[in-house]
Amino acid sequence: MSTVYQHSTLAALMGKVLGGSATLAELKEHGDTGIGTFDGLDGEMIMANGEVYYMDGEGTIHHVTDMAKTVPFATVHHASDSSEKVKFRAGNMKEMVSLIDDRELENTFSGVILQGSFAYMKVRSAPKSERPYPSLSEITKTQREFEETNISGTLIGYYSPELYQGTVAAGWHVHFLSDDRTFGGHVLGFDADKLEGDLTIFDNYELHLPIDNKEFREHHVDMDGLKEGVAAAEGSQD
């Protein structure tokens, strides 16, 4: 059995529930690999080999050693879970999308850990928000984008089926961390010379809810606005 573990929901983030509600220590009980964001939708989180990295709103990467630091949203898994090797001669976001079609993964939760050298990488990161929290679409307007060329590193990403739209952003959600630990973030686009690594098809999707969090308990999910909101907040991944 392989499990992907998710803390909180995208709908909660869209409902301005941005305060940290799980510690990194708690997350690490469920995986050594993953992605997310920090308290106040503060930057981007990537966990690789059990080590946690934080890309701040200015684009600087920090190695996080304080496992009491909290996250409002994250997805993790154990890299040792059953997986198969995948290889792309050339790689970009479109190929990751075709991976889903080629292997009939449309209705699965899947994850990748892919190493590569990238001719181009474009990421984004948002500065920390303070209460009263703004909406995700407002944050999207202030987040910064960063580009790098000729950089090697690792992509960690998760695919979620359309069926779960709102619980999570359906499709791929991918973060990047450079080998030299100086560049990374939420991936908007890339162009890789070659990509290879592990694909895991999860047969178990574990959703953990922050039931002790007052803001989570009080938020109301606007189902009508959810789909358009997800598209606006997550942006294009082509």
Q: Which residue, 69 or 186, is less far from Zn ion as judged by CB?
A: 186
Residue whose CB is less far from Zn ion, 77 or 186: 186
* In contact, 191 and 118? CB cutoff 8 Å: yes
String marking each residue 78-107 x if it binds Zn ion according to CB under 5 A: ------------------------------
Cα 149 to Cα 23: distance, rounded to the nearest angstrom: 34
Per the listing, tokens 């079609």 go with 101
Q: What is the token pair recorded at 136?
A: 């995700």
Nearest to 81 by CA among 108, 103, 53, 113: 113
Which residue has 């990047």 as its token pair?
Answer: 176
The minimum distance between CB 156 and Zn ion, in angstroms, equals: 10
Interface stretch with Zn ion, choices 94-102, 138-146, 179-187, 226-234 (CB under 5 A): 179-187
Among the candidate windows 61-69, 75-83, 182-190, 215-223, which touches Zn ion by CB under 5 A? Answer: 182-190
Candidates 11-19, 159-167, 183-191, 219-227: pick the segment binding Zn ion (CB under 5 A).
183-191
| Minimum CB distance to Zn ion, residue 44 (Å) | 6
Interaction between residue 186 and Zn ion (CB under 5 A):
yes
CA neighbor of 36 nearest in space, from 182, 231, 168: 168
Closest separation in Å from C-beta 30 to Zn ion: 18
CA-based torsion, 45, 49, 50, 52: positive or negative: negative
Pick from 151, 88, 109: which is nearest to 3 by CA?
Answer: 109
The site map against Zn ion for 10-39 (x = CB under 5 A) is ------------------------------
Stretch that binds Zn ion, among 12-20, 164-172, 180-188, 207-215 (CB under 5 A): 180-188
Q: Give bridge partners of residue 45 from the DSSP assignment.
A: 36, 54
